[in-house]
């Protein structure tokens, strides 16, 4: 009989068990999920270390566990590795939240939360029953969870309870929005069935998590988007010429690999786009490493795994990394490390279409490059019009860090790099 313990799950302590996926007597195989844990940043499945039969489940839903905690015993051939070596996987639905550190201006976990006027103050009268994610949500809104009655199982406080409490507090405090200067009137509720037949479908978890993050980024960052175009006729011809060599090395080279190399070159020449504002917004943290996040379209929504050390990899290496990360993203097998440490992100819609768009900066990054579908366009060469393959670029940036002139220079530099791929070796 072997004990199953919690593996190394990063900087998380006392993580809540939200789901038990097996029962006593169940036969399991290596890598089968056993329990699901939820922190304020991630939902993680703990896999079986080997084949066997579940003999004793030592935890219940709502319990809190940490690295090394025993969660159950398996009878059979299961021989768990050292806890730090178990290959825990992370559900794709939480990818956006895990990947992105708090945006500048977000309330740190160790800071006292802001309070609403009147009787809305923190209190130690009781220990409320709420998950870390709900507690964090309440902190962001300045809500006191000790004053909220939970509607979940065993009085558990849900996000809906926090929202309802905030609505009541606002209604009972006239002029609150005007006094704080930060209140945004909510969109009025409408009964759409009044106008015709409707159907209600729940949002996927990733969209529930990404929505608040995108809203925070949009409200905290003064967004500006600069649009430009690049002639990639020769670059595309060069990419196609590498097809046979790429197949021999087990890689499928796409335009994205070249874009990443060009972007690293631009980040070195314009270091402000490879930076983040300090928490107090008083200084700029310049990064000396080059990790690029690449948005991946999955059945559950968009996730942004990070390709590390892009400056040290060649086109073939990047092609293999992109293919492997994209596959794991679509299968929900991304690990926490795959989603952290990005310096700048790329959102490519070239496989779908469009001429330009405004991607939202992935805070605390200060810029994101949007790429639309390339198209054949007649271009005047001085004597006649010639067909050229043109790639639309859209660079969104944080105007507190990057100004319009610098953004224009970045896009112009990228365009020159694409037009003559030899520049990537300079």
pLDDT tens digits, residue range 12-31? 678 888 888 888 988 888 88
Q: What is the dihedral of CA 413, 310, 210, 358, to 10 degrees?
A: 10
Closest by CA position to 71, among listed 28, 133, 132, 127: 28
Report the pLDDT value the prediction gives residue 385, as an integer from 0 to 100. 96
What is the total residue count of the chain? 426
Report the pLDDT value the prediction gives residue 142, as an integer from 0 to 100. 77
Average pLDDT (392-403) is 96
Give me the half-sphere count of Cα atoms (radius 13 Å) on the Cβ side of residue 294.
Answer: 25
Fold match between domain 118-172 and domain 207-425? no
User: What's the CATH fold of domain 207-425?
Assistant: Chloramphenicol Acetyltransferase (3.30.559)
Q: What is the dihedral of CA 327, 330, 335, 340, to 10 degrees?
A: 100
Report the pLDDT value the prediction gives residue 91, as an integer from 0 to 100. 42
Provide the angle, in degrees to the nearest 10, between the axes of the packed helices 404-419 and 255-269.
130
pLDDT value at 93 more than 70: no
> Range with the lowest mean pLDDT among 113-122, 165-174, 398-407?
113-122
pLDDT value at 99 more than 50: no
**CATH node for 118-172:** 4.10.320.10
| Domain boundaries defined on the chain | 2-90, 118-172, 207-425
- Using one digit for the tens of pLDDT, what is the confidence trace for 281-335? 899 999 999 999 999 988 878 889 999 999 999 999 999 999 999 998 888 888 8
**CATH node for 2-90:** 2.40.50.100
Residue ranges of alpha helices (H) inside 221-341 are 233-241, 243-248, 255-269, 315-330
341, exposed or middle or buried, with CB in 10 Å at 0-12, 13-18, 19+? middle
Catalytic site positions:
399
Report the pLDDT value the prediction gives residue 373, as an integer from 0 to 100. 95
Inter-residue contact 225 to 358 (CB < 8 Å): yes
> Range with the lowest mean pLDDT among 33-37, 38-42, 216-220, 308-312?
38-42
Residue 255's pLDDT band (cuts 50, 70, 90):
very high
Residue 128's pLDDT band (cuts 50, 70, 90):
low
Report the pLDDT value the prediction gives residue 21, as an integer from 0 to 100. 86
pLDDT value at 185 more than 90: no
In degrees and rounded to multiples of 5, residue 237 shows phi and psi of -65, -40
Quick one: what percent of the chain has pLDDT higher than 90? 40
> What does the mean pLDDT of the chain come to?
82
Residue 344's pLDDT band (cuts 50, 70, 90):
very high
Report the pLDDT value the prediction gives residue 173, as an integer from 0 to 100. 56
- Using one digit for the tens of pLDDT, what is the confidence trace for 139-159? 777 788 888 888 887 778 888
Report the pLDDT value the prediction gives residue 81, as an integer from 0 to 100. 43
Average pLDDT (231-246) is 92
Report the pLDDT value the prediction gives residue 180, as an integer from 0 to 100. 41
Inter-residue contact 183 to 177 (CB < 8 Å): yes
pLDDT value at 178 more than 90: no
pLDDT value at 83 more than 70: no
> Range with the lowest mean pLDDT among 173-182, 238-247, 416-425?
173-182
CA angle 160, 164, 166 (to 5 degrees): 115
pLDDT value at 363 more than 50: yes
Inter-residue contact 143 to 162 (CB < 8 Å): yes
Average pLDDT (245-254) is 87
Q: How far apart are CA 337 and CA 264, in angstroms?
A: 21
- Residues with Cβ within 8 Å of 47's Cβ and at least 6 positions away in sequence, in order, are 30, 31, 32, 33, 34, 86, 87, 88, 89
């Amino acid at each position: 009989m072997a004990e199953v313990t919690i593996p190394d799950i990063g900087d998380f302590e006392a993580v809540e068990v939200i789901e038990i996926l097996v029962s006593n007597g169940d036969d399991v195989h290596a890598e089968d999920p056993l329990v699901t844990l939820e922190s304020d940043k991630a939902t993680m499945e703990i896999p079986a270390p080997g084949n066997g039969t579940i003999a004793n489940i030592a935890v219940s839903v709502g319990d809190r566990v940490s690295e090394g905690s025993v969660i159950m015993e398996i009878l059979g051939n299961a021989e768990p590795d050292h806890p730090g070596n178990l290959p825990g996987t992370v559900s794709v639905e939480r990818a956006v939240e895990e990947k992105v550190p708090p945006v500048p201006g977000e309330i740190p976990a160790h800071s006292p939360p802001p309070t609403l006027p009147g009787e809305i103050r923190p209190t130690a009268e009781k220990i409320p029953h709420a998950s870390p994610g709900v507690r964090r949500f309440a902190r962001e809104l300045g809500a006191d969870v000790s004053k909220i009655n939970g509607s979940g199982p065993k009085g558990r406080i849900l996000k809906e309870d926090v929202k309802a409490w905030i609505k009541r507090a606002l209604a009972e405090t006239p002029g609150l929005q005007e006094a704080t200067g930060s209140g945004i009137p909510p969109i009025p509720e409408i009964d759409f069935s009044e106008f015709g037949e409707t159907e209600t479908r729940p949002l996927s978890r990733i969209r529930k998590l990404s929505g608040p993050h995108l809203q925070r980024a949009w409200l905290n960052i003064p967004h500006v988007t600069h649009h430009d175009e690049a002639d990639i006729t020769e670059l595309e011809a060069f990419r196609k010429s590498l097809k046979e060599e790429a197949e021999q090395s087990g890689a499928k080279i796409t335009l994205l690999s070249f874009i990443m190399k060009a972007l690293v070159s631009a980040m070195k020449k314009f270091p402000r786009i490879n930076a983040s504002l300090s928490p107090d917004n008083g200084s700029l943290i310049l990064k000396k490493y080059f990790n690029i996040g690449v948005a991946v379209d999955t059945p559950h929504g968009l996730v942004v795994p990070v390709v590390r050390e892009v400056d040290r990899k060649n086109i073939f290496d990047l092609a293999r990394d992109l293919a492997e990360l994209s596959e794991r993203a679509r299968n929900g097998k991304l690990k926490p490390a795959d989603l952290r440490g990005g310096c700048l992100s790329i959102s490519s819609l070239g496989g779908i279409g469009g001429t330009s768009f405004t991607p939202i900066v992935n805070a605390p990054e200060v810029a994101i490059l949007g790429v639309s579908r390339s198209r054949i366009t007649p271009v005047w060469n001085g004597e006649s019009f010639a067909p050229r393959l043109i790639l639309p670029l859209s660079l969104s940036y944080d105007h507190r860090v990057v100004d319009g002139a610098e953004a224009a220079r970045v896009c112009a530099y990228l365009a020159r790099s694409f037009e003559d791929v030899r520049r990537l070796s300079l």
